[in-house]
Amino acid sequence: MRHRCLSGEAATAGTASKKRDAQRSKRAILDAALSEFAERGHAGARIDAIAERAGVSKPMLYNYFGDKDELYTAALREAYVQIRAGERELDLAGKAPEAAMRDLVAFTMEHFRSKPWFISMLNTENLLGGQTVRKIKDVGEIQSHLITMLTRILNRGVSQRVFRPGIDPVDLYIMIAALCYFPISNAHTLRAVFRCPVDEPWLNRHREHAVEMVLRYLAP
Amino acid sequence: MRHRCLSGEAATAGTASKKRDAQRSKRAILDAALSEFAERGHAGARIDAIAERAGVSKPMLYNYFGDKDELYTAALREAYVQIRAGERELDLAGKAPEAAMRDLVAFTMEHFRSKPWFISMLNTENLLGGQTVRKIKDVGEIQSHLITMLTRILNRGVSQRVFRPGIDPVDLYIMIAALCYFPISNAHTLRAVFRCPVDEPWLNRHREHAVEMVLRYLAP
Amino acid sequence: MRHRCLSGEAATAGTASKKRDAQRSKRAILDAALSEFAERGHAGARIDAIAERAGVSKPMLYNYFGDKDELYTAALREAYVQIRAGERELDLAGKAPEAAMRDLVAFTMEHFRSKPWFISMLNTENLLGGQTVRKIKDVGEIQSHLITMLTRILNRGVSQRVFRPGIDPVDLYIMIAALCYFPISNAHTLRAVFRCPVDEPWLNRHREHAVEMVLRYLAP
Amino acid sequence: MRHRCLSGEAATAGTASKKRDAQRSKRAILDAALSEFAERGHAGARIDAIAERAGVSKPMLYNYFGDKDELYTAALREAYVQIRAGERELDLAGKAPEAAMRDLVAFTMEHFRSKPWFISMLNTENLLGGQTVRKIKDVGEIQSHLITMLTRILNRGVSQRVFRPGIDPVDLYIMIAALCYFPISNAHTLRAVFRCPVDEPWLNRHREHAVEMVLRYLAP
DNA sequence: TATGAATGAGTATTCATTCAT
DNA sequence: AATGAATGAATACTCATTCAT
């Protein structure tokens, strides 16, 4: 009754459709796991719910991913993989240093905002003491593209005398991430405690403050 | 019907020791709950563990706090109460504006670092969509002392021509909180992804960057 | 509705009845486990079935015995404890050597026959490679009483010139156990393959053969 | 409807390889099932494990053997078939009665020792109450060869005045089987409880005791 | 006030079995 | 003849919560 091979596809190759189904099932499980773990945390997530969201049976989920922890690991890795993919699309190489910096802040905030599972997964993982992220071997390489780009922009900015020298790109990225992360991660408590609306206009205003803060910090 | 708690503290001498014990039990449960919820999140926390940490029986815990959600609410409230108590100690009134700002950043970071349950509880609550914090009536008052102080400092700074005008104290506090929150909240993932040590020296360095960022942002 | 404190007892002591219930629950679980494991083997036994047979809830069972393996271990140990208790009642000390030997064979066969869980537990444990019996610390002491008795009877028989010397008591006991064990352990297959009835008269006849075999073996 | 098996072996040359493969698959499944059921018992055996051991897919296994119980039945039958094949090799006809008896004990013990799946299958089947062995039609014939031989030896021994008359061959075989079965079937618990090594030398010694016991029992 | 004993309702995980190709 | 993909129905185990004393 369920997952009837959603539409079209029309059986172009005999083996392709079979193989594609397995692939599709794994993808569906991963997406469902990402949502469920992000929404409810590690202990709060339910395997039943993930299977149902994915439209597959629990045994299949176990067959592909092992157990809850391994599925959580895969979901966390997926969160990093997806932000890396997003970053690759961002092309700062050709832009003026200050504009590039503005775009990086905007992208970061927009990513955090539009993919709420990313922040949720990071919070969940940090609550668990980072025991899982340590097991993901290539997690360090994932952000390297961003840092490389950031280094180039900083260098260009310095040689064009619009940025001061001596700024560490990782330090800078942490500053930017911090400014973008906090108001989204803590939106609910900010609303309750400070009566901030934390809606689109408010976040846009916050983004402009963040951009100004970064640029003033980088100014010679 | 149950746990009428805070009323009638002024008991006669004869029942005083009982009252004292009751108070002590409640305190112990609250502290234990704060630790457990902060360490394991809402779904991950175990009532058994809280009772054992507190050294009381489970029926007693239920008698005082109702159920898990009510206990969680009490623990979240307690996190805010304790942070408020900490903030009272901070006295920025007599300091020069720039020094006061430096001290506020330092205090905020130190606060987050030394009371890890605070950040954990905020993350946990935001993961749950803020449904609990909204029920805590006086949560808005909690930060008012800080905002009042911050307003005074900003005004003083403006009149002394060391700060530019037009800075909203809440916006500024969110910036400061963001810079202090992120590296502590995300210490585990930062270690794994960016190889940051996130130890005392690293955090001290980060604090100096944050102070400089804030002061440059405020500069006329 | 269930286990309403089976009958009588009439609350003689205020604390005794409370304590006795816990004791009774543990006993009931152990008895039920012994039956279930003996009837269905380790993998075939169902925790649900044990809890139901015992008239207790599963959480209670887990509370008292840990998990399935620990419960199985306790049941296996109990099987040995009960056969030891049976052996203690047997008093061979005062009997003539040949009569004592006859009684020992009769007791052994009767024990195996009337407590079918004993043979079933041993078979189950040997199927599992003895991994559990090795963990029971005092299992060696359990049979020591029997071996001591057997040694005395052998010695007495030798000095009375009715038994030959040089018989090892453990070897002898293994022979006796073997003769008593096999027709009961393998009753079902013997019925099917050799058309033996394996009923009371048949077993009695078999017992007489076994007694004769042992006595001829011991004869000088 | 399914698994019509043994029929029509005399196929044409064209389909011979297919038939051969089918036969090979069935053989492999049966061997795997025998090992798995013997090692883990009925409930403990896993269909997945059997298919993997046999190197075939599960649907093929189901196609050939129906379901787990039917496969178990086939495996139990196979255990009897294989032991029967072994017994055919034994030729006691030409030996002196006492030597023949000694050889029978030795053969029986060696048989149990070298084909551990036989004892395991018998124990497993008896644990299940013999419900399966009853369904195997020709199981009675299996041991007939042995009993026939035993009858001849007993008769010869009686006429040569080395054995006493009146011994039932089935009774005698059960005695012999008992003495050989027990120390192998219960090797693990004997090691743990009585500290018997139950290794080659120990079993050889035990065999000699058994031979002596049988011969003394048969002596006129 | 205080708690040892007890459990209903989940929750992760497994396993025999079948379907589509 | 053969199998990769899939699942319904258990099965071991847990957890918030309550009862009896």
Q: Which residue is nearest to nucleotide F19 (CA to C1')?
A: B59
pLDDT score of D91? 78
CA-only gyration radius of chain C, Å: 21
Given a cut of 50, is residue D3 above it in pLDDT? no
Torsion of CA A96, A100, A101, A106, to 10 degrees: 150
Of B170, B175, B183, the CB nearest to A194: B170
Say if residues D124 and D41 touch (Cβ distance below 8 Å).
Answer: yes
Our measurement of the distance from residue D31's CA atom to the centroid of its chain's CA atoms, rounded to an integer in Å, reads 14
Query: Based on the number of CB atoms within 10 Å of its own CB, is B217 exposed (0-12), middle (13-18) or buried (19 or more)?
Result: buried
Of A123, A140, A193, the CB nearest to B127: A123
pLDDT score of D20? 64
Of A40, A133, A209, the CB nearest to B188: A133
Neighbouring residues of B102: CB distance < 8 A, sequence distance ≥ 6? B211, B215
Chain A and chain B share a number of CB contacts under 8 A equal to 161
Q: For residues B120 and B38, what is the distance between their CA atoms, to the nearest angstrom?
A: 5
Of B residues 60-79, those with CB within 7 angstroms of nucleic strand E are 60, 63
Neighbouring residues of C199: CB distance < 8 A, sequence distance ≥ 6? none
Of C43, C143, C183, the CB nearest to D44: C43
Contact B178 A174 (CB under 8 A): no
Q: How confident is the model at residue C6 (pLDDT cuts 50, 70, 90)?
A: very low
Q: For residues D7 and D2, what is the distance between their CA atoms, to the nearest angstrom?
A: 12
Contact between the CB of D56 and strand F at under 7 Å: yes
Contact C217 D212 (CB under 8 A): yes
Fold matches, D1-66 and D78-220: no
Given a cut of 50, is residue C104 above it in pLDDT? yes
Q: For residues C188 and D126, what is the distance between their CA atoms, to the nearest angstrom?
A: 6
Query: Based on the number of CB atoms within 10 Å of its own CB, is A139 exposed (0-12), middle (13-18) or buried (19 or more)?
Result: buried
Other beta carbons within 10 Å of C72: 23
pLDDT score of C138? 85
Of A127, A174, A183, the CB nearest to B123: A127
Of A43, A174, A190, the CB nearest to B44: A43
Say if residues A154 and A176 touch (Cβ distance below 8 Å).
Answer: no
In chain A, residues 58-87 whose CB comes closer than 8 Å to chain B: 80
Average pLDDT over residues A23-28: 94
Query: Based on the number of CB atoms within 10 Å of its own CB, is C105 exposed (0-12), middle (13-18) or buried (19 or more)?
Result: buried
Given a cut of 90, is residue A151 above it in pLDDT? yes
How many C-alpha atoms does D187 have within 13 Å on its Cβ side? 20
Q: How confident is the model at residue C144 (pLDDT cuts 50, 70, 90)?
A: confident
Q: For residues B28 and B39, what is the distance between their CA atoms, to the nearest angstrom?
A: 16
Q: For residues C122 and C185, what is the distance between their CA atoms, to the nearest angstrom?
A: 10
Furthest-apart CA atoms within chain D: distance in Å: 65
Helix pair D13-44, D47-54: axis angle to 10 deg: 140
With 0.85 as the threshold, say if the pTM is over it.
yes
Q: For residues A180 and A49, what is the distance between their CA atoms, to the nearest angstrom?
A: 31
Q: For residues C121 and C98, what is the distance between their CA atoms, to the nearest angstrom?
A: 31
Nearest to B134 by CA among A193, C186, C172: A193
In chain B, residues 82-121 whose CB comes closer than 8 Å to chain A: 120
pLDDT score of B125? 98
pLDDT score of D18? 57
Which of C193, C212, C214, C215 should we substitute to test contact with D (largest number of D Cβ atoms within 10 Å)?
C193
Say if residues B64 and B26 touch (Cβ distance below 8 Å).
Answer: yes
Q: For residues C200 and B16, what is the distance between their CA atoms, to the nearest angstrom?
A: 75
pLDDT score of C12? 37
Nearest to B117 by CA among B67, B182, B185: B185
Contact C126 D186 (CB under 8 A): yes
pLDDT score of B20? 63
Contact between the CB of C19 and strand F at under 7 Å: no
Contact B133 A193 (CB under 8 A): yes
Contact between the CB of A58 and strand E at under 7 Å: yes
Phi, psi of D95 (to 5 degrees): -95, 160
pLDDT score of A13? 38
Contact C171 D206 (CB under 8 A): yes
Q: Do the two chains A and B touch, given a threshold of 8 Å on CB pairs and at least 3 pairs?
A: yes
Q: How far is the CA of D52 from the C1' of F8 (A)?
A: 23
3-state helix/strand/coil string of chain A: CCCCCCCCCCCCCHHHHHHHHHHHHHHHHHHHHHHHHHHHHHHHCCHHHHHHHHCCCHHHHHHHHCCHHHHHHHHHHHHHHHHHHHHHHCCCCCCCHHHHHHHHHHHHHHHHHHCHHHHHHHHHHHHCCCCCHHHCCCHHHHCHHHHHHHHHHHHHHHHCCCCCCCCCHHHHHHHHHHHHHHHHHCHHHHHHHHCCCCCHHHHHHHHHHHHHHHHHHHCC
Contact D192 C41 (CB under 8 A): no
Side chain identity at residue D186, one-letter code: N
Residue B137: both structure tokens together: 């009536």
* C-alpha separations of B149 from A191, B91, B154, B220, C118 in Å: 21, 9, 9, 20, 79
Contact between the CB of C63 and strand E at under 7 Å: yes
Q: For residues B39 and A214, what is the distance between their CA atoms, to the nearest angstrom?
A: 33
Give me the long-range contacts of D189-192 (CB less than 8 A, separation at least 24): D189/C122, D189/C125, D189/C126, D189/C130, D189/C133, D190/C174, D191/C130, D192/C130, D192/C133, D192/C134, D192/C136, D192/C139, D192/C140
- Given the structure tokens 């008795």, which residue do they identify? C149
Of A residues 36-95, those with CB within 7 angstroms of nucleic strand F are 56-60, 63
Q: Where are the domains of chain C?
A: 1-66, 78-220
Q: For residues C41 and C44, what is the distance between their CA atoms, to the nearest angstrom?
A: 5
The verdict on A201 touching B (C-beta cutoff 8 Å) is no
Say if residues A8 and A20 touch (Cβ distance below 8 Å).
Answer: no
Nearest to C169 by CA among C122, C115, C90, C104: C104
Q: Which residue is nearest to nucleotide F11 (CA to C1')?
A: C46
The H-assigned helical ranges of chain C are 14-44, 47-54, 58-65, 68-89, 97-114, 116-127, 139-142, 144-159, 169-185, 187-194, 200-218
Q: What is the pLDDT of residues A93-102, one digit of tens each?
A: 789 999 999 9
Q: How confident is the model at residue D12 (pLDDT cuts 50, 70, 90)?
A: very low
Torsion of CA A139, A142, A147, A148, to 10 degrees: 130
Q: How far is the CA of D81 from the C1' of F9 (A)?
A: 35
The 8-class DSSP code of residue D131 comes to T
Buried b (16+ CB within 10 A) or exposed e, B154-169: bebbbeeebbeeebeb
Cβ contacts of D120 on chain C, cutoff 8 Å: 127
Q: How confident is the model at residue C74 (pLDDT cuts 50, 70, 90)?
A: very high
pLDDT score of D126? 98
Q: Which residue of B has its CA nearest to A208?
A: B171
Q: What is the pLDDT of residues C155-214, one digit of tens each?
A: 999 999 999 999 999 999 999 999 999 999 999 999 999 999 999 999 999 999 999 999
The verdict on D151 touching C (C-beta cutoff 8 Å) is no
pLDDT score of C30? 97
Of B residues 4-63, those with CB within 7 angstroms of nucleic strand F are 45-48, 58-59, 62
Average pLDDT over residues C93-120: 94
pLDDT score of A74? 97
Average pLDDT over residues A26-40: 97
The verdict on A198 touching B (C-beta cutoff 8 Å) is no
Contact between the CB of D73 and strand F at under 7 Å: no
Q: Which nucleotides of E are covered by protein (CB under 7 A)?
A: 1-21
Given a cut of 60, is residue A8 above it in pLDDT? no
The verdict on B151 touching A (C-beta cutoff 8 Å) is no
Q: What is the pLDDT of residues D111-146, one digit of tens each?
A: 999 999 999 999 999 999 999 999 988 787 777 788
Contact between the CB of C68 and strand F at under 7 Å: yes
Given a cut of 50, is residue A184 above it in pLDDT? yes
Q: How far is the CA of C57 from the C1' of E8 (A)?
A: 10
pLDDT score of D172? 97
Q: How far is the CA of A58 from the C1' of E13 (A)?
A: 9
Number of helices (H), then strands (E), in chain B: 11, 0
Other beta carbons within 10 Å of B200: 9
Q: For residues A107 and A121, what is the distance between their CA atoms, to the nearest angstrom?
A: 19
Q: Which residue is nearest to nucleotide E9 (CA to C1')?
A: C59
Other beta carbons within 10 Å of B14: 7
Average pLDDT over residues D159-176: 97
CATH 3.40.50.300 fits C1-66, yes or no: no
Q: For residues B90 and C154, what is the distance between their CA atoms, to the nearest angstrom?
A: 90
Chain B: touching chains (3 or more CB pairs < 8 Å)? A
Torsion of CA C72, C77, C81, C87, to 10 degrees: 100
CA distance D23 to chain C (A): 28
pLDDT score of B19? 60
CATH superfamily of B78-220: Tetracycline Repressor, domain 2 (1.10.357.10)
Helix (H) or strand (E) holding D145: helix D144-159
Q: For residues C163 and A1, what is the distance between their CA atoms, to the nearest angstrom?
A: 79
Cβ contacts of A122 on chain B, cutoff 8 Å: 186, 189
pLDDT score of B137? 81
Q: For residues C47 and C53, what is the distance between their CA atoms, to the nearest angstrom?
A: 10
First CA to last CA across chain D, in angstroms?
58
More confident residue, C88 or A153: A153
In chain C, residues 169-188 whose CB comes closer than 8 Å to chain D: 170-171, 173-175, 177-179, 181-183, 185-188
Query: Based on the number of CB atoms within 10 Å of its own CB, is B112 exposed (0-12), middle (13-18) or buried (19 or more)?
Result: buried
Given a cut of 50, is residue D10 above it in pLDDT? no
Residues with pLDDT less than 70, chain B: 1-20
The verdict on D215 touching C (C-beta cutoff 8 Å) is no
Three-class SS of residue B20?
helix
pLDDT score of B18? 56
